[in-house]
């Protein structure tokens, strides 16, 4: 940690070595690959024939959620680094566990998988674009972006290497070696998620004092932000006239964000800025809890497929 605990959250830089960042990059790529080997080309083409649900979901994820995030920031007026952390999380694609949670919730798992795939590819362009647009609209976060001089192309390259490349490799392997992917799919998914969780816990342990000191400053905001994401996804899917089966997928995909990618971007481009990192870390913990709890509740109310 480069500053004392008495320093404001906007000035704290979390301790995260270049080696640790490279390990996190590799871990996230493995997690994405473990999801991708569960995908087939049909998952992309099936919904292209009836794209309404997919388009609604992507619109919810890449426009509705960032817009709701911006409104939350205008109302709450949080510290600049916290505000930018919320914007960055909202700009990320769907999280790694969204497909599992959608399945447990009795929603359209095929739609969830396709949304994850398309949002991952779309993140190549839309994640840096959303960070730049929404971050520049709020003066305090605009100052951070100006000082950071973030390069959208560099962000796109990072997203491509961490998410899109493993996605393509996983789909290719599943198409060429389906028997192999069937054998390794479940063990690899459990292993990769276990490694990812362990790594995040170790990273937090190295900065535990900072996390405890500032978690209270972001906890309520993250809870409200996640609730807005879930409510926004459900509302836009309802307005679009989607079935209850599809609404559950869109709601969960919008409410489960890839906070692991968010941490990589924060440590890679913002030097581990305290407010941003604490927001992304707390998001990673909370959206798992809220998602599993929501799935348990929805599973008691089955819907027609």
pLDDT digits (tens, 9 = 90+) for 228-269: 999 999 999 999 999 999 999 999 999 999 887 888 888 778
pLDDT value of position 21: 66
CATH of the domain at 291: 1.20.1530.20
Is residue 303 situated within a structural domain?
no
Is residue 247 situated within a structural domain?
yes
Distance, in Å, from the CA atom of 11 to the CA atom of 13, rounded to the nearest integer, reads: 6
Distance, in Å, from the CA atom of 206 to the CA atom of 209, rounded to the nearest integer, reads: 8
Instruction: Please provide residue 150's backbone torsions phi and psi, each rounded to the nearest 5 degrees.
Output: -65, 135
Average the pLDDT over 159-185 and give the result. 84
Which of 188, 190, 195, 197 lies closest to 288, judged by CA? 197
**Local confidence band at 293 (pLDDT 50, 70, 90 cut-offs):** very high
pLDDT value of position 131: 93
Mean pLDDT of the chain: 82
Please check whether residue 278 is in contact with residue 266, taking contact to mean a CB–CB distance below 8 angstroms: no
pLDDT value of position 1: 36
The whole-model pTM stands at 0.82
In sign, the C-alpha dihedral spanning 67, 68, 71, 73 is: negative
Query: Beta partners for 273?
Result: 13
Q: What is the pLDDT of residues 88-144, one digit of tens each?
A: 999 998 877 787 788 889 898 778 878 887 888 888 889 989 999 999 999 999 988
DSSP-based three-state secondary structure for 117: helix
Is residue 96 situated within a structural domain?
yes
Is residue 123 situated within a structural domain?
yes
DSSP-based three-state secondary structure for 144: helix
Please give the DSSP secondary-structure letter assigned to residue 257: B
Please check whether residue 90 is in contact with residue 130, taking contact to mean a CB–CB distance below 8 angstroms: yes
Domain count across the chain: 1
Q: Which domain holds residue 205?
A: 18-298
Average the pLDDT over 55-59 and give the result. 93
Is residue 54 situated within a structural domain?
yes
Is residue 287 situated within a structural domain?
yes
pLDDT value of position 7: 44
Please check whether residue 113 is in contact with residue 43, taking contact to mean a CB–CB distance below 8 angstroms: yes
Is residue 4 situated within a structural domain?
no
Distance, in Å, from the CA atom of 224 to the CA atom of 232, rounded to the nearest integer, reads: 12
Is residue 8 situated within a structural domain?
no
Higher pLDDT, 6 or 189: 189
Which of 249, 288, 255 lies closest to 114, judged by CA? 249
Token pair recorded at residue 180: 């192999």
């Amino acid at each position: 940690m480069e500053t004392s605990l008495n320093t404001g959250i906007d000035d704290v830089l979390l301790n995260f070595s270049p080696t640790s960042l490279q390990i996190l990059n590799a871990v996230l790529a493995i997690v994405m690959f473990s999801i991708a080997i569960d995908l087939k080309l049909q998952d992309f083409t099936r919904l292209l024939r009836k794209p309404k649900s997919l388009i609604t979901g992507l619109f919810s994820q890449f426009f509705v959620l960032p817009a709701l995030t911006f409104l939350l920031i205008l109302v709450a007026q949080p510290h600049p680094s916290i505000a930018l952390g919320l914007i960055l999380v909202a700009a990320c694609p769907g999280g790694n566990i969204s497909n599992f949670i959608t399945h447990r919730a009795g929603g359209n798992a095929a739609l969830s998988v396709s949304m994850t795939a398309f949002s991952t590819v779309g993140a190549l362009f839309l994640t840096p674009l959303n960070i730049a647009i929404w971050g520049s609209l709020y003066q305090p976060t605009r100052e951070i972006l100006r000082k950071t001089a973030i390069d959208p192309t560099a962000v796109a390259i990072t997203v491509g290497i961490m998410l899109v490349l493993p996605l393509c490799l996983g789909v290719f392997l599943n198409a060429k070696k389906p028997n192999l992917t069937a054998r390794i799919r479940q063990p690899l998914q459990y292993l990769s998620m276990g490694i990812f969780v362990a790594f995040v816990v170790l990273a937090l342990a190295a900065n535990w004092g900072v996390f405890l000191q500032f978690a209270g400053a972001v906890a309520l905001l993250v809870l409200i932000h996640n609730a807005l994401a879930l409510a926004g996804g459900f509302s836009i899917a309802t307005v679009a006239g989607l079935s209850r089966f599809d609404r559950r997928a869109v709601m969960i995909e919008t409410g489960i964000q890839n906070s692991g990618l968010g941490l990589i971007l924060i440590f890679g481009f913002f030097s581990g800025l305290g407010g941003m990192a604490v927001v992304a870390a707390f998001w990673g913990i909370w959206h798992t809890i809220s998602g599993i709890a929501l799935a348990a509740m929805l599973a008691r109310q089955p819907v027609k497929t």
